[in-house]
Chain A
């Protein structure tokens, strides 16, 4: 497909006199994993909210999946994991997920099937225990994150938007998340995620956009960005011991199964 999943041009957003996003233009190619990078307060969340039509830009246009961001029905094809996580604490996991699916236009019957599939995949339903019938507040933090992740993609969206998805994740769950993102890409879905941890972006992204103080610093495919802004490649030969991160993953495992699943984590 030639069409871009997201096409923003000259977008501005102010909050009571102070500029959150200034003249931002960016294109997210369909089927890409796209990193929105920048320090805290750069305007990443604001940009994402405008793409999702949660807030309106003061000026500029945003097209999502080939239609203006404001058009009806688009939101059914987008999945969103907000920066600030949270679900209805008193509700049962399955009920919350069904509710979120209904908001995306998924029929109850389909929703049940998909929820079960995801609960199995993310080990929230095992032979010992079906966490789907537990209340959200009974889940450990890690399990809540998983439930929230399921909520974001239970309707099998074409475009997945993750705002700071790695914050608060332990390395095992972070790896599980990376795997899921790569999974989505292999199925032709577009994934946009914001992060201020640049290492994560480098290992996952096809394209990036770096913003600071509400303005774009640079964007493009990872390769383009490196050739254009990185200068000529330098050859470095370094002998390193495996990083602690590598050792951790190796020892604890990166199956996506949270250790200690049996009790509260």
Chain B
């Protein structure tokens, strides 16, 4: 009916405007995209810093007496993708006798942070047996791989030199570029586009959804209590049905949450597309090259973020919206039963428990998105708004499961709003002591 609709609209409008006006909303809305962008841009910032640092990062102690060191340094520079002019490896040619001494010097330099580490080239290295490496994060897999590869390139160059190849020709061999891998993984259903970066993004998004639902739920709770305690609700329900008031509040709060999410998504997209402007193309190219060489895994974040399909974003927003409706109704129902903020904390415990349980399951779902637990939780209405997006981000969820999950959630929202409406009708006029569960049951099931 048009009349009810315009009154519902008045309630939605009030809830929306009063919330959007708050300082808290402004701050949190701006903060999140900045955080997201910071995570994605971190490698860019690091690269920029690295380029400026003057200390040689790796010392090469060459005791081979055959000039292996310079080739290794050249190759290392290519592998690390630092620009051609700045060879950041410092080669020290020593005799086998003074190796122990040079090693000690280098150790103390690393200890004083004048270098990151040092590579020791000796006769065993010439034979292709072993190469010594010491430094900070000496167990870093990618660092080790980089060093082993550069030593191998150095050995190749040395053998080419012995074979009589000219110096420029050798240099062009050693400095052959490393291509960027464009990986496509294949799973049971064909192409899969999972990357670890995707898992990280899914986790962060899930966490944001969880936080948003908790915050807006609590916000709803205190709104209802304020309305009840200030007795405004009695005036309102003398004009509209309690169910209309409830629906208006839930829709209003959901709209606020949705606004914030849209600003978050929009802001993140905007910042990412502005990255060239912010950091300059060379830094981005460097970061991409470094990422390809395995040096900076977190650069994949940016790539994954850029590659996030819009269909997923839309689905996340829809799920979030439904999740807010669902939890909003539950929180409102709790609010209607209590007489004070202190009571509320206790009464809201079961609802909070559902949310916390869901949050606990975020990490197991990321690790094993096809487990029975993850599948079940992506179906249940209290957890699906958070769990389903994770599964969809990192694995191929069968369409039937997505549809079923959405259908269950929509029905549950209707159920929750109906139930909350019943509680609202009686609860809003109850002041004083908190009702028992049996009483609440009677409110729901008797006219």
Contacts and interface: CB of A to CB of B under 8 A. Distances in A.
B201 to A, nearest CB: 37
Nearest to A136: B230
Contacts of B97: none
Contacts, number: 65
B234 A104 contact: no
A86 B238 contact: no
Contacts of B11: 103
A37 interface: no
Interface in B228-260: 229-232, 234-240
Contact of A105 (B6, B229, B238): B6
A75 B238 contact: yes
Contacts of B1: 72
Nearest to A89: B230
B447 interface: yes
A87 B230 contact: yes
Nearest to B442: A16
Classify chain A: how many residues form its interface, as a range. Answer: 20 to 34
Interface in A63-86: 72-73, 75-76, 78, 80, 82, 84-86
A218 interface: no
Nearest to A73: B3
B144 interface: no
Interface in A122-156: 151-152
- Give chain A's interface secondary structure class: loop
A84 B231 contact: yes
Contacts of B3: 72-73, 76, 105
- Give chain B's interface secondary structure class: helix
B271 interface: no
Contacts of A89: 226, 230
B425 to A, nearest CB: 8
A56 to B, nearest CB: 7
B423 to A, nearest CB: 15
Contact of B10 (A52, A53, A99): A99
Contacts of A55: 429
A229 B405 CA distance: 70
Nearest to B426: A55
Contacts of B238: 52-54, 75, 78, 80, 82
A49 interface: yes
15 contacts: A54-B237, A54-B238, A55-B429, A72-B3, A75-B240, A80-B235, A86-B230, A90-B18, A91-B18, A99-B10, A102-B10, A103-B10, A103-B11, A103-B240, A104-B239
Given A87-B232, A89-B226, A105-B6, 11 more contacts: A53-B238, A72-B1, A73-B3, A75-B239, A78-B238, A88-B230, A90-B18, A100-B235, A103-B10, A103-B240, A105-B7
Interface of B: 1, 3-4, 6-7, 10-11, 14, 18, 226-227, 229-232, 234-240, 429, 439, 447
